[in-house]
Amino acid sequence: MKNLFRKSLKYSWLTVIVVLVISVFFFLKMKKNSRMETNLDKYMPQQHPAFVYSNKAEKWFNIKDGIIVAIENKNSIYNPGTLKIIKGLSKKLMKMPEIEKNDVTSLYTADNIVGSEAGMEVKRFYRRVPKSSEELKKLEKEVRTNNMVFGKLVDSTETVAVIVARIGDNTFTQKFYRRILDVAKKYEDSENKIYVAGRPIVEGTMALLGPADMKKMVPIVLIVIFLVLFATLRSLKSTIATLFVVFFSTLWAFGLMAAVNIPIYAVSTMIPVMLIAIGVAYGIHLYHHLSIFMTENPDAAKEEAVMDMLVQMWKPVTMAAVTTAVGFISLLTSQVYPIKYFGLFTAFGVTMAMLLSLFFIPAYIMLTGLPKNNKKKKTEAEAQNQIAFIFTEKVLKHSTATILATVVIVVLSIFGMTKVWINSSFLDKFEKDSAIVKTDKFINEHFGGTSTINLILDAKEKNAFKKPEVLKLVSQMQKDVEKRVPVVGGSFSLVDFLERINKVMHADSLKYQRIPNSQELIAQYLLLYEMSGDPQNLIKVVDYNYQKLNVTFQLKSDNSKATKSALAEIDKYKKDFAKLGIKMNYAGSGYKALVFTDLILEGQIMSLAMSVIIVFLLLLLMFRNVKVSLIGTIPILVTAIISFGIMGWLDIPLNSTTALLSSIAVGIGIDYAIHFIEQYRVNSKLGDKLLASKITMAHSGKAILFNAIVVIAGFLVLLFSVFPPNRELGFLVSVNMFTSFLGTLTIMFLLLYKSNVYFENKSKEN
């Protein structure tokens, strides 16, 4: 390695030129190929059995996510102005190339099943906008008495109506998103307020806010890091060189992402903050060692000082980077694409930050000169060393109290871990007072809900869903689930068609709003509807052979607690359906989001276990001592336990953002352990355990403190993010870094000291 470092110093200009050329290449790739992934289905592994089945069901029944446009008139929707808006907006949406004509449902397009002299008739509620009071009252009565529309397309207060436009997975674009909002805004007037919600709108809003958030975060992080770095390094040259390292490593990570055509997910917007906060650590340790060397050797030549820095520090810096990268690479065990790619490209960025620190910083020093090391700096360093010596003595003096306090905190944290819950909600990624959350809340208050679960009933025999006993069980299930689960605002299936038809065929008598007892009569009703109405409507609820049935449940919340409460009630009917030869399966975006949360938890456990094992093995490879490897892993385990305990106590859920926590805790926290143990090992050659401890605390302990301050400052910037989960992560990682730093300088140090690991057999160690 010495020869390699000497050659790199000899050709410093070439090193800088190579770094700049690579940076330009990645910048051009990023400019050309970078794109934001807005389709939340793309976050999920499509090969997973649950997603494979759901995708099939979506094709069978044309299940699509809907854009919901709500029109509110505080007086009543039954006026020419509001009804004209409903008609105009419906027709406008139907003409959009991204939306199928039959996928727009509103009071204007919906089928109105009514009784007639011939028996049954299916017609529109209105074609021309009714203007007279008689026409408006007639429409009002027809809506009120139609259970398929009242409460579903018109709310119970009759002041809000909705238009639902369902779109395919690959049709939503930013251009389309803006066009929807522009069209809705044009129809709004002084009496009619328009709201736009639905999953595609959530995706579009996230796609707009994600890049904007990143643009806001990066400059703030850079300014904060610059100020904190300058305060700790006390050198403008050193600060600029360290910032160059994190700037280039971040650029290269996003450039590689663009080069291999991987999109930017919402969680990817945190990679710059992550790399900026992490990447400065290597520069801090290098410059700190260089400062100590120059203080002890004020007459040393530039190349001599730089070579000493590289020879003494390349191993701990490399191992720290490798273990950090391992912490992030362990996220590849997750089946959730954003988390998987976040781990991969952050690991790449960390590795590049390490290489740039070992080659670019020395080249930069050779070209610009050594940082100044005046008497003031020397005096400050001596004062800091004295503080480090006193801290060492205090820790040793109060070792029992320190260990007991740690045990108590860990026990409380383990109890807190039992309270951690997983949140699949995408809406919870936004501020509670944001327009999109308020709009979603408004629609949920007036209608069944903006989130859905699709229950797919699969029978063994054909025409199973023409049997009265089967349909009556479906009807009972729908009513019970709506009644018993507050979050379920409504449901819809073939049952709703048949109950409506049976009612109108019996002079609109409410007692006949039920499933007929005769299979033959049911078959006749269905045939009559197919002849009179739109057969496409039946395709959405039942297949051609009447062997598969789609029951849609509307939920007033999209988080996992809400979804699980609905599924728990639905699953109670599994045995009853099984007796009739019918299997229950689930599909749709709501169910896939729930599976998504399970994958997050599974990936979290796997990545944490894998990262700890690999870190232990890397420590074993580096220090060749099992005891040292075990001691080195203790701070990161304690940190991980405390961080999850805090999540439980503060009711911070585990989601696609906070799921990164364990890998960040392991990846960054292990840096401190490696630097401290390596310096302790080197100083143990002095033969005096207390002296070795004091010198280690003054050298690595001080650098670890500076590193922790910079990293904590960097992550605290996430508190300014527009996304609440990002703010939670910023807070949690900052706490992680504090506990990891404190744990390394107290618990791990005490274990090293009391184990006599480098003093029990000096002959072997030397």
Q: Inform me whether the pLDDT recorded for 93 exceeds 60.
A: yes
> Helix H segments across 371-511?
375-397, 399-417, 435-446, 468-484, 494-504
- CB contact at 8 A, 327 and 667: yes
Long-range contacts of 355-359 (CB under 8 A, 24+ apart): 356/19, 356/244, 356/245, 356/248, 356/249, 357/245, 357/279, 357/282, 357/283, 357/286, 357/317, 358/5, 358/282, 358/310, 358/314, 358/317, 358/318, 359/8, 359/15
Task: Look at residue 265 and tell me if it is in a domain.
Answer: yes
Question: In whole angstroms, what is the distance from residue 110 CA to residue 119 CA?
Answer: 20
Distance between CA atoms of 447 and 428, rounded to whole angstroms? 20
How far, in Å, are 362, 631, 656, 673 from residue 678 at the CA level? 22, 13, 35, 8
Q: Is the pLDDT of residue 679 over 70?
A: yes
Shared domain for 173 and 263, answered yes or no, is: no
pLDDT score, position 586: 95
- Residues 548 and 456: beta-carbon distance below 8 Å: yes
Distance of alpha carbon 497 from alpha carbon 147, whole angstroms: 10
- Domain check: are 461 and 378 in the same one? no
**Coil, strand or helix: which one is 274?**
helix
pLDDT 10s digits, 389-443: 999 999 999 999 999 999 999 999 999 988 888 776 777 777 787 878 888 889 8
Residue 47 lies in a domain: no
Name the 3-class secondary structure at 687: coil
The pLDDT tens digits of the residues spanning 159-172 come to: 999 999 988 766 66
Picking from 568, 588, 608, the residue at the C-terminal end of a domain is 588
Distance CA 340, CA 360 (A): 29
For residue 695, give the H/E element and its range. helix 689-696
Q: Which amino acid is at 354?
A: M
Residue scoring higher pLDDT (142 or 715): 142
Mean of all residue pLDDT scores within the chain = 87
Question: 544 with 469, same domain?
Answer: yes
CA distance linking residue 595 with residue 44, whole number of Å: 9
Q: Do 327 and 370 share a structural domain? A: yes
User: pLDDT tens, 282-310?
Assistant: 888 899 889 888 888 888 889 999 999 99
Of residues 153 and 200, more confidence is placed in 153
Q: Is residue 112 part of a domain?
A: yes
Predicted pLDDT of residue 320: 81
* 383 in any annotated domain: yes
Q: Are 248 and 352 in contact (CB under 8 A)?
A: yes
Burial 227-258 (b: 16+ CB within 10 A, else e): ebbbebbbbebbbebbbbbbbbbbbbbbbbbb
* Domain CATH for 149: 3.30.70
Stretch 684-705: mean pLDDT: 89
Lowest mean pLDDT among 8-22, 326-340, 554-568, 622-636: 326-340
What is the rounded average pLDDT of the residues 447-458?
91
- Say whether both 572 and 646 belong to one domain: no
Backbone angles phi, psi at 578, to 5 degrees: -60, -35
**The pLDDT value given to residue 374:** 58
Query: Residue 326's closest CA among 656, 598, 621?
Result: 621
- Considering the domain architecture, whether residues 719 and 705 belong to the same structural domain is answered as yes
Q: Is residue 701 a contact partner of residue 388, using CB atoms and an 8 Å limit? A: yes
Per-residue model confidence (pLDDT) at position 766: 41
> Domain ends where: 203, 232, 257?
203
765 has pLDDT over 50:
no
Which CATH number does the domain housing residue 342 bear?
1.20.1640.10
Residue 764: pLDDT band with limits 50, 70, 90 = very low
The first and second tokens of residue 375, run together, are: 């008497």
Q: Are residues 471 and 359 in the same domain?
A: no
SS (H, E, C) 698-729: HHHHHHHHHHHHHHHHHHHHHHHCCCHHHHHH
Per-residue pLDDT reduced to its tens digit, 345-375: 999 999 999 999 999 999 999 999 888 765 5
Report d(CA 184, CA 202) in Å as an integer. 16
41 Cβ neighbours under 8 A, 6+ residues apart: 169, 589, 592
Residues 458 and 520 in one domain: yes
**Are the C-beta atoms of 241 and 364 separated by less than 8 Å?**
yes
Classify residue 49: in a domain, yes or no: no
How many Å apart are CA 731 and CA 737, to the nearest integer? 10
Identify whether 218 is part of a domain.
Answer: yes
Where is average pLDDT lowest: 78-92, 146-160, 258-272?
A: 258-272
Q: Note whether 268 and 389 are same-domain residues.
A: yes
Question: What's the confidence (pLDDT) of residue 490?
Answer: 92
Instruction: Using the Cα atoms of residue 425, residue 426, residue 428 and residue 434 in order, give the sign of their dihedral.
Output: negative
332 class by beta-carbon count within 10 Å (0-12 exposed, 13-18 middle, 19+ buried): middle
Predicted local distance difference test score (pLDDT) of residue 763: 41
- SS3 (DSSP) at 453: strand
**Domain identity same for 667 and 679:** yes
Q: Domains in the chain: how many in total?
A: 3
Q: What is the pLDDT of residue 230?
A: 87
Residue percentage of the chain with pLDDT more than 90: 44
The residue count of the chain comes to 766
Residue 435 within any structural domain of the chain: no
Q: Which two tokens stand for residue 266?
A: 């919402």
pLDDT of residue 207: 67
Q: Do residues 302 and 381 share a domain?
A: yes
Q: Quote the domain boundaries for residue 551.
A: 444-588
Q: What is the pLDDT of residue 761?
A: 58
Q: Distance between CA atoms of 279 and 63, rounded to whole angstroms?
A: 46
Q: What is the pLDDT of residues 199-250, one digit of tens each?
A: 777 777 776 776 777 777 778 877 888 888 888 888 899 999 999 998 999 9
Q: Percent of the chain having pLDDT more than 70? A: 93
Of the three residues 588, 603, 626, the one that is the final residue of a domain is 588
In a domain, 210, yes or no: yes
CA distance readout (Å), 557 to 74, 277, 451, 497 = 25, 35, 6, 26
Q: Output the CA torsion 742→744→749→752 (10° steps).
A: 160
Q: Describe the crossing of helices 199-233 and 236-259 by its angle, rounded to 10 degrees.
A: 150
What is the band of 616 on the pLDDT scale with cuts at 50, 70, 90?
A: confident
**How many Cα atoms sit within 13 Å of 605 on the Cβ side?**
7
Q: Phi and psi dihedrals of 461, rounded to 5? A: -110, 155
Name the maximum alpha-carbon separation found in the chain. Answer: 110
The answer on 305 and 387 residing in a single domain is yes
DSSP 184-235: HHHH--SS-EEEEESHHHHHHHHHHHHHHHHHHHHHHHHHHHHHHHHHHH--
* Side-chain half-sphere CA neighbours of 508 within 13 A: 12
